[in-house]
Each structure stands twice: as C-alpha cells, then as structure tokens.
Structure 1
Amino acid sequence: MFSEIGQLIFDNEAVAKTQDFTMGLEIEMQRVDETGELSQEPYPAGAGDEKTNPWITNDFLETMSEVVTPPASHALDAMHYLFSLNNALRTALSPGELLWPLSMPPRLPKDKSKIPLAKMGPDKEAYLHEWVKRHGFSAGTPCGAHINLSIDNHVFEMVYEQMKDLFPDRVDLENYLYTIIAQGFIRYRWLITYLFGASPIAEKGYFENGQGPKHPVRSIRQSTYGFGTKFKGDYTSVQRYVDRIEKGAKEGTLISDYEFHGAVRFKGNSNLKDLPKTGIQYLELRMLDLDPSSSVGVRTGTLRFLRLMASYFIMTPALHPEEVQKVIARADEMNELVSVEEPNTPTQFQAKARAMMRRLEMYANQIQLGPEYQEELEDLEDRIENPTTTPSARLMTHAEDGSLEGYALKRAKRYQNSALQSIRPFKGFDQKRQLSADDLKTELFKGSWDPQ
C-alpha cells in the first residue's frame, strides 16, 4: 500500500508528521443588504485598508470580502483564526449589511456595469476590467473556500536525509511531494465535489436567458458553468506546470500567469518562472464551495478530511509521469459529470467513491488516527450511500420558486446577530499600522487561545 517514501516514513514512525500540515484559509463572501441585493455601502473602514490589510481584503468586487488566516499547525487553530477574523469583519459592516453564505452570488441586476470592481490599485483594476471583457461579469462572482497546505518540515528532513541518492537537492524533494499531492487532489476532485458541492442553483441575473443547467445540480461553481477561465494546468511536474501557464500567458489565452485559477495551485516564489528552482512552499486547494451551514463557510471536519487525503497521497505510490495527463483529463471529465448530476440522485461513480473511502478508512486505521477522523469518514460514507444528505441536496429542501434567497438571508441574519453579540469586538484594524501574524494573534485572542 505504501510507496518507497511512504514506507520510509512509516518505518521511522513519522506518519503522524504527515498529518501535521500547516494550514491557512481564505474564505470569500459577498456583502449584501437585508433585501438580498449586493451592498451599496463602501468597504468597511473597521476592516482596515483593503489594499494593505493581509487578513481582510477584497477579491473581484468591492463587495466580495475575503478573510485570510495566518498559517496554523492544526485544523482547530486555523478555525479559531477564521472565526475571530470573520467576526471582526461582521462587526465592521454597516448597519443592515450581511455576509451572503452561499457560493453563488445573490441576485444580480440587469445592468452590471454599475457594480464596482475591487479597488486594489491600478494594475489589479486594469487586470479585472480585462478579465470582465473576456469572461463576463457573472463568472467572477462565485465565492469559495481556499485551503492552503504546507508539509511539515520534519517530513522533508527525514526523507531527504535517507534518500539523497534519488533527489539532487532538497528543493527537488519538496517539489516532488507537493506535486504528487496536487495530482491526488486533482484526480479525486470529483469526490470532493460530490461530498461538499453546495451550489445547486443560481439566483436571477447570473445566467442570461436560456443559459445554465436545466435542473438543480451538485455544484455550478465546480462545473463548466462556474468560475471564469477553463484553462487546464499541467501537473506532471513543477517545470511543466510553469511552462504550461507561461505558454498560456504568452499566447494570450491567459491575461497573465496570475489568471491561472486551477483547482490546485502551486505557491511559492512570486516569480512563477523561478518556482522550479526556489521550490513550492504550499498548495492552494480551490475546489470547495462555501458551506452555508457554517457561519465561516467551512467546517473543521472538512479540513480534517482534506488533511487525511493529503497524508494518504504522500504515503502511497504516485502516478507514472507518462500517465499523469491522461489520468487528470479523465478526472476532469468525471468532475464535470458529477458537478451537474441532480443532487438527490446517487452519483454514477458511487462504486469508485465507496472504494476510495474504504481505502482512506483503512489508511486512517493503519496510522491510528483519532475518533474525530473516524466520525468524519462515517458521515461522508453516509453521504455516498444517501445523496439526500449531501450539502447540495439539503440546500434544495430550502429552495422556493427556484431561489435560495430566503434561506440565505435567514442564515446570514442569524450569523450576523451572533457576531454582534460578541463580548469583546475586535478593534485591531482601526490602527494605522499593519498587523503581523504575531500581532494579529495577540490582538485577536489576548491570551485566551494560543494557536501554534
């Protein structure tokens, strides 16, 4: 079951370290008013400067707020940061403003030209205007949860020390391990879409007349009806990943290398061309819809499941390089088929889903993970057997006249009222100085919590 690297990690009793991913979260949500329209209020002053605050900013629209957590060593720590920053944003909103809890945007007006794009400086604004020309306004409005994962340094140290003959230097090892994790997530993206897809329908104004799915689906956002450009990345190696994106930018298929928004992105050096030499520092996973059953758009159990998958990919044999493109092309087809299935129906890949979940459960037992992982796996296995328990199917029980607006506003008001009852509202962004990660931890928790 284990690869050569996986067996080495297992024999050195370091499997637990493959679970110790440093994790950062980026959660996008639209600001709306109490009637479900995109907010007309300015960017909240209490959230700091949208151009310079690294922890709360904007993406695409002035109304698309993005909360970014510092890296944390445990899923629970990442969630504590997220809850605190989400509350800080909510308490900074103008009276009557809410955060829309769904991935698909609220109803959009016919004249979208009056909706302001994010004010992030001349270069970014020029890029956004060009993006809208190419892809249309609606395609940039879906929101999601992005998960950033970096491998524990101990794993690199231990493997490199004993496998120097296979890797010319440590950067090669780092790039290799991150690449096989990325391949794994792209390969099983369809399973994540089935388990966590939560964008079954779109509100008025998103699609032009006659466009869009003819019935509710598992995830509009994760389908070809969803976000922006459909440019495909190459995950065979870091060099081929870079070459593919640079070629797209050179030929004009992409506005720039920044426009690549694949389901997984390699992150590291700001200069993409140098990435193979300087090394990947973390992966950005972009395949999660917002979970509207959580005020912050994602649940701790979901993070644990993704960590388990990433650990499994490190420990098990990788795809042969010549097979990567073919396997991933098939996985993309599977993801499209799953994303547009009706929410209440079993997926056509149910047998494959069962097999993968059994494999993950065996792996979790083998490395003796705690009961919280077993409970999460049992819940997700139930979703495979009972599609009515998936997020997309549950959402459709709240739909009225082809709309989720009533449900979304009810949730948004509940979450907003809860945030406003906070005993100690966060005021740290009122200061003129930019908060470092250490400053943020001090200001947010005041010693009540000590994330690692």
Structure 2
Amino acid sequence: MTDVTDNSINPNRTSLIPSWLSSKHLSSMLRGIEKEGLRMQSDGFLAQTPHPESLGSKLTHPYITTDYSESLLELITSPKPTVAETLNMLRELHVLVYQSLEEGELMWPLSMPCMLSSDDNDIPLAEYGSSNVGRLKTLYRSGLGIRYGRRMQTIAGLHYNLSFGDDLFTAWRDSLPEPEQAESLTEFKNIKYLGLIRNFKRMSSLVLYLTGASPSVCPCFLTGREHDLELMNKTTYYKPKATSLRMSKLGYTNSVQDQLDIRYNNLPEYVAGLRKAINTPFSGFSELGLDDEQGNPIQINDHILQIENEYYSPIRPKQIAESEETPRHALEARGIAYVEFRAVDLDPYSDIGIRVSTACFLEVLALYCLLADSPDLLPEEDDLLAENVERVVNNGREPGLTIKTPEGEVALSEWMRKHLEAMLPLATLLDTEYGGNHYRVAVTLMLGKAVYPDATLSAQVLADTEKLGSTWSLGHALALQHRESIMRSSLSPNTQARYEVLAEKSWIQQQDLEKNDTQDFYDYIQQYR
C-alpha cells in the first residue's frame, strides 16, 4: 500500500488513498464512546455516596454504570453513524447524571483524580448487587485494589470505539490478486484490524502529545508513592513539559504486565498471549492471599491477570461478548468487530470530556493506521515504542525533544508534522462523505499543536493551574462551568421517558439475575481459580 522503511509507517508518500477506496466506503463506519469521570463532593473530596439509584442498575444498564469505584461513573454511548450523534448521546447521559447527583456533587473534569483522603479504603469499591456475576465484578475490583492500590484506579480516561463497514473490507479484498483473497471476510478483517492496532501503537506518541491533558496532580494522589515530580506549590505536583501523566509509569500502568509479550501479529497469537496471562500464577499476587482471615475472597485468583480487562493496553481488538462470554472467547468465535482506542485523556475544557475535533482526528488517524502497511510488531520495536511513550508523557513539550525510530533519533515535532500532513487527504475523503470540513479542520488544528507546544491541552492545563493556584482549583472551576452548561441542555419528554424506562428495566434485570442464582459464590469463582 505504501513504502515502509524498517517497520515504521512512511508518511512521505503523497497519498495513502488506494484506487479501490471511495468516500462511500466510509459511510458505514460506526463509533461509540466510553467516558469515565469521578463524582466529587462540594469540598473537593471523592464522593462517598452510592451511585444514584435513579440512574438504574450499574450491573445491567447499557449506558450508565461505574468503573472501579462506586464514585467513578462510566457513560457509554451506543454505536452511532456520525460523530455528532455520538457526542449528542454522550451529552444526554451527562444531563441524566446531573439530574441525579446529590446536592453539591459535581463531575470532576480531569483524568487525574480530585482530592483523596490518605486512607485507600475511603475509595469505595463499586457494588453490583448479590448475584454471582455482580459479586464477581466487585471482587475483581477488590483484587485490583490489593494488587496496585485503590488510588491508581481513580484515574479516568476516555475510550473511543470505532468500526469500518464490511463494504470497505469487501472492496479491499476484491481489489487484491486472487491468491491474497483466500481468507474469509472475517479473517481478512482480523488481519486488517490488527494491522491498524500495530500502527496505532507506532503512532501512540502522537496521540499522547496531542490529546494528553494530565501534566499535574494533587499531592494526595502521590501518598506513599515514589516519584520524580516537581512541586509547583503546596497543592500541586507537576512536570513542566509533561503531556499525560495518566499514561506514565506513575499512572495507569502495571510493571508486572511489562513482561507479558502479548502480540498483535495475528488473532490466535493475541488470544494465546491473553490466555497464558490469565492462567499463569504470579508469586507476588499469591503472597497477597486469595481469601481474608474469615475465608472471604479478596481477589479472583493469583494469576498475572484476574480476567482480560486487567490487561492495560493503549488499544484493544474487541468483539461484543454475549452473556457470561469472556472477551477472548468472543474474539475467537466471531473475530474482531471494532477497535477500542484507550490512550485518550479527558479533555477538561469540554463539558462532556471530548471535542468534535478530537473525535474527528481519532477517526482520521484510525483510517491512516488501517491503510498503511503494518509489518509485524516484535519485542525489540515494542521496547523502542515504550521508551518513546515515556519521553512524550513526561517531556513531550520539551523543545527539540527526539524520539527513536528504527532509522535513529528524529525530532518529535517534525515526525508528527509529516504524519499529520500525510493524513490530510484522508480527512478530505471523510469530509466528502460526511459533509462539512470537520475532519480537515481537526487535522489542521493538530498540525498547529505539533508545531506550537503551547497550543496543546497539557500546556493550557498547566498555564491555568498556575493562574488559579492548584490542580484542584482548576478542576473545581471547570466542574462548576460544566454543570451549568450541561444543565442548560434539556432532554425532550420522549428522550427523558425512554431513559427512565431503561433505568426501571435495568433494576428488574438485576433482580431476575439475583433470583435465579442458585450456586454458592465461593463455588462459582472456582472456575476462575
């Protein structure tokens, strides 16, 4: 498709658009968003109240649930045919949340957490009722807490889910010489989606520089942890040129998993890597114990991963799992349905955590990664990419910063500029299909940030933190603005009624699960041990 030198995407070709691809092949793209966000008390500390009952059951509601903590909301849109419809649904979910919050509670707008007490146990685990599947979800969170500390689990982010239509993959396959058409459409899609994933990993430094918005933290997050952050003042630690501390070794990472060597070169290899991690005990986790002194389970098992979701990766291949089906079994059974981009910080200046321009940029990037040649990603290159990520999350706005490529060190800004310019024709193609110029504007905005570090979100966050005096002051001021903005958006009576029915239905579904459970929970979890 394009010239590739030493396993890296080559941005020097004039256009990545192949002859078989037309804008109509992009019409059946679907996108969805999963957005996390902490509930915060009026005094700035993490909310201790339970998840609002009027929002429905966290276990069975399709759109509103919790992530790690009872206080960490997760809002999930259904797959939508346009960016505008996706962001509109995300806004509706925010309206529902704000209608339900206790007096004075706010949604914290930053990825790094609001004020936390010095006691980890003041971070309440999410509770999902008395069914075995609900109790397993809480037990998984208990395991995360004893393995990595509860503080790490209060970090919030945004996942962008994206799929391309079968018509695109069919046209692509039909354009190839016959010997290359041998795979089924499902196998062909698996190959192309995994190529996208490998290239996204190669491009993750670009994503972290452009969307990173967590260069500073409240001191309470660092309680009991070694770090090399600088003190801005008594109430904020930071790194002057950082982009995304959330994605640094200080944030949502796991050194145990660094040794896993889970690869994305073909689907059986990826699934086998996950399976091995899920079935391999780790002595450090065995020492923590499986049960407490009373015999109550405190982690699902002592394996490297309790379940698939514990694997931290900036991007994942996904298939919609059926009831009680594991993610890896869904992938094995039906192949890759979509990809989940996980390396995106919350945009603290957006009342829903993401702007149109960021969403459009991620879609152009996905198309770029899909169409570019994507050689196998092997451990040596993976190590190089991991080092680049560390440089960019900690010092991404440093003038003259370089990153490693197989050809040697290159200036980050020049590397980003070349890739973004190579994306412009794809942005034009997307605009042709969807109308307007949102995609081209998005890439042009990102080009500006690549050239002018002060235009990045992370630079803006630091400047405003210094102006207002602390990370907390900035987060609180933005949270108040966002509440006002969200509450000005009202839902139509029909939409309001539809969500109310969904909430009621979710409670009935949870009760049915609880009534029909006959197996003892301890016996139930043995299948995971």
Match of 1:246 in 2: 275
CA distance in 1, matches of 2:498, 2:431: 41
Distance 1:246 1:302, change over 3 A: same
SS of the residue aligned with 2:116? coil
- After the TM superposition, which of the residue ranges 187-196 and 229-238 deviates more from structure 2? 229-238
Match of 2:171 in 1: 158
Distance 1:228 1:61, change over 3 A: farther
Answer yes or no: is 1:145 the counterpart of 2:158: yes
Match of 1:360 in 2: 423
SS of the residue aligned with 1:340? helix
Match of 2:478 in 1: 411
Answer yes or no: is 1:256 the counterpart of 2:320: no
Answer yes or no: is 1:288 the counterpart of 2:344: yes
Q: Which amino acid aligns with 1:294?
A: S
CA distance in 2, matches of 1:125, 1:423: 34
Answer yes or no: is 1:267 the counterpart of 2:324: no
Q: Which amino acid aligns with 1:138?
A: R
Match of 2:500 in 1: 430
CA distance in 2, matches of 1:184, 1:174: 15
Match of 1:172 in 2: 187
Distance 1:13 1:125, change over 3 A: closer
Q: Which amino acid aligns with 2:476?
A: L
Match of 2:519 in 1: none
Q: Which amino acid aligns with 1:139?
A: M
Answer yes or no: is 1:392 the counterpart of 2:464: no
SS of the residue aligned with 2:147? helix
SS of the residue aligned with 1:62? coil
CA distance in 2, matches of 1:59, 1:368: 35
Matches within 5 A, 1:180-219: 180-208=195-223, 211-215=226-230, 216=239, 217-219=242-244
- After the TM superposition, which of the residue ranges 207-216 and 18-27 deviates more from structure 2? 207-216
Match of 1:14 in 2: 22
Structure 1 unaligned spans of 5+: 436-452
CA distance in 2, matches of 1:334, 1:88: 40
Structure 2 unaligned spans of 5+: 4-14, 129-133, 231-238, 281-302, 403-411, 508-529
Answer yes or no: is 1:226 the counterpart of 2:242: no
Distance 1:171 1:191, change over 3 A: same
Q: Is the 8 A contact 1:236 1:325 kept in 2?
A: no
Shift of 1:139: 1.2
2:37 aligned residue (29, 32, 42):
29
Q: Is the 8 A contact 2:111 2:345 kept in 1?
A: yes
Match of 1:279 in 2: 335
Q: Is the 8 A contact 1:59 1:118 kept in 2?
A: yes
CA distance in 2, matches of 1:196, 1:172: 32
Q: Is the 8 A contact 1:8 1:159 kept in 2?
A: no
SS of the residue aligned with 1:284? strand
- After the TM superposition, which of the residue ranges 23-32 and 112-121 deviates more from structure 2? 112-121
CA distance in 2, matches of 1:258, 1:363: 32
CA distance in 1, matches of 2:253, 2:142: 13
Matches within 5 A, 1:286-325: 286-319=342-375, 321=376, 323-325=377-379
CA distance in 1, matches of 2:441, 2:455: 15
- After the TM superposition, which of the residue ranges 214-223 and 346-355 deviates more from structure 2? 346-355
Answer yes or no: is 1:341 the counterpart of 2:349: no
Distance 1:433 1:162, change over 3 A: same
Distance 1:131 1:228, change over 3 A: farther
CA distance in 1, matches of 2:67, 2:430: 39
Q: Which amino acid aligns with 1:262?
A: S
SS of the residue aligned with 2:465? coil
SS of the residue aligned with 1:221? helix
Percent of aligned positions with the same letter in both sequences? 26
Answer yes or no: is 1:75 the counterpart of 2:83: yes
CA RMSD of aligned residues (A): 2.6
Q: Is the 8 A contact 1:57 1:66 kept in 2?
A: yes
Q: Is the 8 A contact 1:20 1:74 kept in 2?
A: no
Answer yes or no: is 1:95 the counterpart of 2:161: no
Q: Which amino acid aligns with 2:344?
A: L
Distance 1:380 1:265, change over 3 A: same
TM-score (norm 2): 0.76
CA distance in 2, matches of 1:96, 1:14: 51
Match of 2:149 in 1: 136
Shift of 1:180: 0.9
Q: Is the 8 A contact 2:123 2:151 kept in 1?
A: no
Q: Which amino acid aligns with 1:153?
A: D
